[in-house]
């Protein structure tokens, strides 16, 4: 047994050190996702999607006949680990472009080495801080939390709701959402009557919800990723709270329905159109892209497994590939060349919406990328 | 035999070690490997302090991540908001952390048993909550951006190579200090306290003073490491200073070899670098990591460094067909 472990360790080290210099006949793409750890519900579909797309692309002949080589590491949503992974991609694997990471905090943590090394990054995290102010080498694919807040608040306003309560998770995602929820409320004629927070690993939010029950709030907006929002949905049902519950786009994965069960019925979230393909009209420009991705992903990883997070990775990978293609046409497949090409991409129909990047906009989306989704009969459906 | 005595002399070992790691960049030139070594050096500094506390004095702290975090946040906040130079940030971090460690240490260290562990555990959680909730100052859960790069007397450190020499210099300074502490009268007092508080009290050792003193010193090591970390990554967020990181630090001390300074460095190096090599196991990385730890603890209950020493002793004696003469509990720096 001991010998086996030693052999395994030695093999691991040899494999690590045996990384070769870039061959001229391949393109190198780096990816870092939180495929394990607290954000794994988000990171795992991103990892699956990226692996699937690389396989597809190489089977179809790669980019201009050159194969794509993927270098992927797990950040575990830890800033120090992500920092090491980025350095590994930059100096050891010598990739041309990096996609990921999964979470906002980790993205902020790796921006300094990214900018220093001058390598394009396409993040799959939500926070608006990633692209505002614009950083030369940093792009992102998911809609920002600002857009999600706008979508929710516009819905509330149309229903005549004036008083709203918010409950946010204590991490980079919830924090960024909380700031936007408070900042934008007056623009939609809303008053925030309760502002509660919860810890990422909390298993009971009855206390916060009881406080909300004691106010005259007409709706709850919950900002978090797994498993918090599912717990909140359950507690809300137990406490007999009847005011509607709106979630952020951070729960747009089947995991939410699985965890919250019946309690998820009748709750809302703004989400990319990926999870409600069936309710989309055929005229929708995204429909064909979305169905193709969904069919491919679910064919490989099981029925109802597709989530918008994998979609963010899908968009990031496609954009990276498109930029490499264009850079090859321009005869400048360098980190700088690829960056310039990403900035020029317009009209790209992705899973998150239609992307129009520019020197001023490194996200390229508007809130129209979102639909308001209701959970009905254990599935997603587009709400009116 | 002369050679053996030379190797066993802690100062000779130190000189050899210093020579070795200062020459390492001649072989290791890649930025990534140097980056991992920088993180190892930073972790080693904390773990050395924790070993003085746990291995030598027998007091357990489950809150060292918070001292590490305080060091990082004090200099980070001063640098990001008021543009204090890093050295001034270091002075502030050391002063404030020393005061805080003393304030916690005085009441709790007079108690016996696991009260210190409990108190430091609570303290770690309180500090973590402060990092999260003092949003306007610390940036809250999203983290603190805008920390300046390391700059000492006008010399800027911005490549991993430069950072390697900087962090290793601090590590060597801390190691030398620790060797001196362990070999001095203070070190003997600390070991006496570990053995039996009552007995050492009878012999006239001022137990409370030594315990508080070593607790403050180990907190200062952590603060120094935090200061290095903040200016190295130039971004900090509460998620780096959780209770789990405190546990990881304790694991480094125990896996390395309790009560051995070299073991502490060994443990820090192993637990920091192993996950970097284990990524080839993909999703099973954590599983393999846990498995290796279990195997180490089963076959080398005295920690890795002592375990390897024991193994060599056993081989040596097996070769000479003589029974091994191990002296359990033997303490060496």
Rounded to two decimals, the ipTM of the complex is 0.82
- The answer to whether residue B279 neighbours chain A at the CB level (below 8 Å) is yes
Report CB contact under 8 Å: B142, A127: yes
Q: Collapse the DSSP code of A279 into the 3-class scheme (helix H, G, I; strand E, B; otherwise coil) and give the result.
A: helix
Q: How far is CA B138 from the centre of its chain?
A: 24
Question: For residue range A91-126, what is the model confidence (pLDDT) as tens digits?
Answer: 999 999 999 899 888 999 999 999 999 999 999 998
pLDDT score for B324: 53
Give residue-wise pLDDT tens across range A47-95: 999 999 999 999 998 898 899 999 999 888 888 889 999 999 999 999 9
| Spatial contact of B271 and B251, defined as CB atoms under 8 Å apart | yes
pLDDT of residue A47: 94
* pLDDT number for residue A1: 46
A305 is written with which tokens? 């497994």
Kindly state whether A105 is in contact with chain B, defined as any CB-CB distance less than 8 angstroms.
yes
Structure-block tokens of residue B29: 């030139």
What's the pLDDT score for residue A5? 52
Residue found under tokens 């076959």: B299
Q: Does the beta-carbon distance from B142 to A15 stay under 8 Å?
A: no
- B237 at interface of A, judged by CB pairs closer than 8 A: yes
Average pLDDT, chain A: 88
Label residue A14 by pLDDT band (50, 70, 90): very low
CA angle B101, B104, B108 (to 5 degrees): 130
Amino acid A19: pLDDT: 46
Tell me: pLDDT of A283 over 60. Answer: yes
SS (H, E, C) B290-315: HHHHHHHHHHCCCCHHHHHHHHHHHH
The answer, for B235 touching chain A at a CB cutoff of 8 Å, is: yes
Rounded to the nearest angstrom, the gap between the alpha carbon of residue B254 and the centroid of all alpha carbons in its chain is: 11
Q: Contact B277/A12, CB-based, under 8 Å?
A: yes
A74 has a chain B CB within 8 A of its CB = yes
Q: For B329, which DSSP code?
A: T
A358 vs A365: CA distance, rounded Å: 11
**Three-point CA angle B229, A73, B39, nearest 5°:** 20
Q: Which residues of A touch B281 (CB under 8 A)?
A: 12
Is B142 within 8 Å of A104 when comparing Cβ atoms? yes
User: Could you tell me which residues are beta bridge partners of residue A247?
Assistant: A222
pLDDT at A371 over 90: no
Which residues from B are below 8 Å from A105, CB to CB?
Answer: 141-143, 237, 239
How confident is the model over A36-50, as pLDDT tens digits? 877 888 899 999 999
pLDDT of res. A279: 83
Nearest-CA distance B111 → chain A (Å): 32
Nearest CA in chain B to A117: B159
Other CB atoms within 10 A of residue B324 CB: 11
Contact A105 B142 (CB under 8 A): yes
pLDDT for B195-212, tens place per residue? 888 888 888 888 889 999
DSSP string, B118-182: HHHHHHHHHHHHHHHH-HHHH-GGG-B--PPPEEETTEEE-SHHHHHHHHHHHHHHHHHHHHHHH
Chain A residues near residue B277 by CB distance under 8 angstroms: 9, 12-13, 16
Which whole number is the average pLDDT over A311-322? 94
Task: Check: CB of residue B31 under 8 Å from CB of residue A91.
Answer: yes
Contact status of B284 with chain A (Cβ, < 8 Å): no
Instruction: For B235, name the nearest residue in chain A, comparing CA atoms only.
Output: A109
Cα–Cα dist A37/B67, whole Å: 24
Residue with the larger pLDDT of the pair B298 and A232: A232
Q: How far is A186 from chain B (nearest CA, A)?
A: 22
Please tell me the predicted confidence (pLDDT) of residue B327: 53
Does B142 contact A77 at a Cβ distance shorter than 8 Å? no
Reading chain B (333 residues) residue by residue, the pLDDT tens digits are 667 777 778 888 899 999 999 999 989 888 899 999 999 999 999 999 999 999 999 888 899 999 999 999 999 999 999 999 999 999 999 999 999 999 988 888 777 667 888 888 999 999 999 998 888 898 888 889 889 989 888 888 988 899 999 999 999 999 999 999 999 999 999 999 888 888 888 888 888 899 999 999 999 999 999 999 999 999 998 889 988 899 889 989 988 888 889 999 999 998 888 878 777 676 676 777 788 778 877 888 788 888 888 888 888 888 876 555 555 544 444
**pTM, rounded to two decimals:** 0.85
Confidence check: pLDDT of A4 > 70: no
Q: Which of A74, A80, A87 lies at the smallest CB-CB distance from B279?
A: A74
pLDDT at B153: 87
CA distance B2 to chain A (A): 33
A chain contacts of residue B142, beta-carbon cutoff 8 Å = 104-105, 108, 127, 129, 172, 175-176
Residue B3 main-chain phi, psi, to 5 deg:
-60, -45
Mutant choice from B76, B235, B249, B307 vs A, greatest count of A C-beta within 10 A:
B235
Q: Residue A128 has what DSSP assignment?
A: G
Smallest Cβ–Cβ distance between A73 and the set B31, B240, B279 belongs to B279
């Amino acid at each position: 047994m001991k010998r086996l472990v030693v052999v395994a360790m030695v093999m691991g080290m040899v494999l690590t050190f045996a990384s070769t210099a870039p061959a001229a006949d391949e393109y190198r793409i780096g990816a870092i996702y939180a495929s394990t750890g607290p954000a794994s519900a988000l990171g795992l579909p991103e990892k699956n999607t990226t692996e699937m797309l690389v396989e597809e692309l190489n089977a179809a002949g790669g980019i201009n006949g050159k194969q794509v080589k993927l270098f992927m590491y797990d950040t575990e949503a830890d800033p120090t680990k992500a920092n090491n992974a980025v350095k590994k991609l930059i100096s050891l694997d010598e990739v041309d472009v990096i996609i990921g990471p999964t979470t906002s905090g980790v993205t902020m943590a790796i921006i300094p080495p990214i900018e220093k090394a001058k390598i394009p990054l396409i993040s799959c995290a939500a926070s608006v801080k990633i692209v505002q102010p614009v950083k030369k080498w940093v792009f992102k694919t998911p809609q920002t939390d600002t857009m999600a807040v706008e979508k929710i608040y516009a819905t509330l306003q149309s229903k005549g709701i004036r008083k709203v309560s918010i409950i946010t998770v204590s991490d980079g995602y919830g924090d960024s959402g909380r700031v936007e929820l408070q900042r934008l409320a007056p623009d939609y004629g809303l008053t925030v009557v309760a502002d509660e927070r919860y810890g990422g690993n909390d298993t009971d939010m009855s206390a916060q919800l009881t406080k909300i029950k004691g106010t005259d709030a007409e709706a709850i907006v919950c900002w978090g990723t797994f498993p918090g929002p599912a717990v909140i949905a359950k507690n809300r049902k137990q406490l007999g709270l009847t005011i509607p519950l709106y979630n952020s786009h951070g729960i747009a994965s089947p995991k939410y329905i699985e965890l919250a069960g019946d309690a998820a019925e009748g709750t809302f979230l703004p989400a990319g159109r990926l999870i409600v393909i069936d309710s989309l009209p055929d005229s929708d420009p995204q429909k064909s892209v979305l169905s193709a991705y969904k069919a491919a992903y679910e064919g490989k990883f099981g029925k109802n497994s597709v989530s918008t997070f994998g979609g963010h990775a899908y968009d990031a990978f496609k954009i990276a590939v498109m930029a490499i293609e264009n850079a090859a046409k321009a005869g400048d497949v360098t980190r700088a060349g690829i960056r310039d090409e990403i900035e020029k991409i317009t009209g790209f129909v992705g899973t998150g919406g239609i992307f129009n990047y520019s020197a001023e906009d490194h996200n390229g989306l508007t809130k129209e990328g979102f639909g308001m989704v209701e959970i009905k009969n254990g599935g997603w459906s587009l709400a009116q | 035999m002369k050679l053996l005595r030379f190797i066993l002399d802690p100062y000779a070992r130190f000189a050899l070690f210093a020579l070795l790691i200062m020459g390492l960049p001649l072989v290791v030139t890649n930025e990534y490997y140097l980056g991992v070594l920088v993180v190892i050096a930073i972790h080693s500094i904390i773990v050395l302090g924790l070993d003085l506390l746990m291995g030598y004095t027998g007091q357990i702290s489950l809150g060292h991540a918070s001292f590490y975090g305080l060091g990082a946040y004090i200099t980070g906040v001063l640098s990001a908001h008021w543009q204090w130079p890093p050295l001034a940030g270091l002075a502030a971090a050391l002063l404030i952390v020393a005061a805080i460690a003393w304030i916690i240490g005085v009441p709790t260290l007079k108690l016996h048993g696991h009260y210190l562990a409990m108190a430091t555990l609570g303290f770690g959680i309180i500090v973590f909550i402060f990092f999260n909730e003092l949003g306007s100052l610390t940036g809250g859960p999203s983290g603190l951006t805008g920390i300046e790069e390391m700059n000492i007397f006008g010399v800027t450190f911005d490549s991993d190579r430069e950072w390697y020499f900087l962090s290793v210099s601090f590590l060597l300074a801390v190691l030398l200090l620790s060797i001196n502490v362990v070999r001095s009268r203070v070190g003997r007092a600390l070991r006496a306290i570990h053995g039996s508080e009552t007995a050492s009290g009878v012999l006239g050792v001022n137990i409370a003073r030594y315990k508080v003193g070593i607790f403050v010193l180990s907190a200062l090591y952590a603060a120094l490491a935090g200061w290095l970390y903040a200016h190295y990554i130039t971004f900090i967020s509460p998620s780096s200073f959780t209770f789990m990181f405190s546990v990881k630090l304790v694991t480094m001390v125990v896996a390395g070899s309790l009560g051995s300074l070299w073991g502490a460095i060994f443990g820090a190096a192993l637990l920091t670098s192993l996950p970097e090599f284990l990524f080839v196991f993909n999703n099973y990385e954590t599983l393999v990591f846990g498995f290796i730890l279990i195997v180490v603890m089963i076959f080398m209950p005295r920690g890795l460094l002592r375990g390897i020493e024991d193994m060599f002793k056993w081989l040596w004696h097996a070769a000479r067909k003589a029974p091994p003469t191990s002296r359990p509990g033997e303490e060496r720096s």
